[in-house]
Structure 1
Amino acid sequence: MAEGFLTTHVLDTARGCPAEGVVIWLYHVSGNSHRKIAEAVTNVDGRTDAPILPAGKFRPGTYELIFHAGDYLRASGQAGAEPLFLDQVPIRFGMAEETHYHVPLLISPYGYSTYRGS
Structure 2
Amino acid sequence: MNTLSSHVLDTTSGKPAQKMQLLLTLPDGSTCSGETNSDGRFNQWNIDDFPAGEYCLRFFCKSYLLSKHGQSFYPFIDIHFEIEEQGGHYHIPLLISPHGYSSYRGS
- Fold agreement, TM-score > 0.5: yes
Alpha-carbon contact 1:101-1:116 (below 8 Å) kept = yes
Unaligned runs of 5+ in 2: none
Are 2:95 and 1:106 aligned? yes
What residue in structure 2 maps to residue 75 of structure 1?
67
Aligned residue identity for 1:88:
F
CA displacement at 1:19 relative to structure 2: 0.4
Identity of aligned residues (%): 40
Aligned residue identity for 2:34:
A
Are 2:54 and 1:66 aligned? no
1:101 aligned counterpart, secondary structure: strand
The ranges of structure 1 where at least 4 consecutive aligned residues each deviate by more than 4 angstroms after the TM superposition are none
CA displacement at 1:45 relative to structure 2: 0.3
What residue in structure 2 maps to residue 52 of structure 1?
45
Superimposed CA distance per residue, residues 1-46 of structure 1 (whole angstroms, 9 cap, x where no aligned partner):
xx1111101000010010001000000246xxxx242101001100
2:62 aligned counterpart, secondary structure: helix
Superimposed CA distance per residue, residues 78-100 of structure 1 (whole angstroms, 9 cap, x where no aligned partner):
132xxx41111001010113210
TM-score, normalising length from structure 2? 0.90
Select the residue among 33, 39, 46 that pairs with 1:39.
33
Unaligned runs of 5+ in 1: none
